[in-house]
Amino acid sequence: MKNQKKLAVIALGGNALLRGTQIGTIEEQEQNTLETIESLVYLIKEGYDLVITHGNGPQVGNILMRNDAGEQTYNIPQMPLDVCVADSQGGIGYMIERMLRNVMKKHGIKREVVCLVTQVVIDKNDAGFSNPTKRVGKIYNREQADLLSKEKKWAFKEEKKMEDGWRRVVPSPKPIEIINETIIESLAKQGNIVIAVGGGGIPVYIDKKGDIRPSEAVIDKDLASSLLAAGIGADEFYILTDVPYIYLNYGQPDQQILEFLDKNDTEKYLKNGVFTEGSMAPKIRAALNFINQGGDKSIITEATKLSDKKYGSKITLKYDNEC
């Protein structure tokens, strides 16, 4: 039997933390976070139990570039990717928690907030390891990329929009287990607002001895958030991005809003390539994953539009234009 209060997982992404035209100063990120958190107030006032997840793409990229600069300039040893993801979880989680506490104080809301550095288990034999696709860190020239490939065994792919530009690529395996899932569920259903699974979680695998081992990879944030939402029995799963709806023929003259979708139609659109892999398709896949595992409703919308119920695309098991 589900908890009487609704439990929702909110995945912050897109312009929730950093907008495309910005350089990523702390002032910019704090302002964006503040605006996004304001949009969550109505859910808090309606009594929802909440778990907040978030992306870390630009931030972990900056951490990796600081890694490079420190090694090249001061001979400071580089930290592995899993530690960089953990660093970004701590920094971003702190920022979200502080903004959230300030917003709740403004609105007279009393709820506790906790941020968990979260490990997520992957399969070390996942097919993604044979084809690294996730671009991270700075852009190098061919000579630098070749040297790093030999020294560190890094994989690189060419940046098509930049002459003699090469960027490190890392695997993005599927998440299979959220290590902190039980405590996240317990804390959330006690009324605490939990911040967890930042950047898709710290990628780890379980070795033959049963020990937890680090992995040089990154995990898709929305897919990991969807796994968490299903695992803790959430009623609703929200993906906050930089557009207010899912669109058919996005950016074309015949663009059409898809506000209400059922599982079957959404799967057909995905199979037919309606949604691009570099943009909406991973979000659709995560939303469907939640529905397929028993979730009531997935909502995809623009970060600051969340409180306005006329916005957002809703995906349910069966078509429901009142959801």
Q: Which of 13, 14, 199, 312 is catalytic?
A: 14
Phi-psi region of 273 (alpha: psi -120 to 50; beta: other; left: phi over 0): left
283 is catalytic: yes
The runs of H, that is alpha helices, within the chain are 26-45, 57-74, 81-106, 142-152, 181-189, 221-231, 263-271, 281-292
Three-state DSSP at 12 gives strand
Q: Checking DSSP bridges between strand 134-140 and strand 119-122, what pairing results, if any?
A: unpaired
Q: Which of 15, 56, 180, 289 is catalytic?
A: 15
134 is catalytic: yes
131 is catalytic: no
Query: How many angstroms separate the Cα of 284 from the Cα of each of 51, 145, 202, 247, 267?
Result: 20, 34, 23, 11, 9
Q: Which of 13, 61, 283, 289 is catalytic?
A: 283
Q: Which of 134, 157, 174, 305 is catalytic?
A: 134
Q: Which of 67, 93, 189, 221 is catalytic?
A: 221
Rounded CA separation 55/197 (Å): 9
221 is catalytic: yes
14 is catalytic: yes
Q: At 132, phi and psi to the nearest 5?
A: -60, 135
The catalytic site residues sit at 14-15, 134, 221, 283
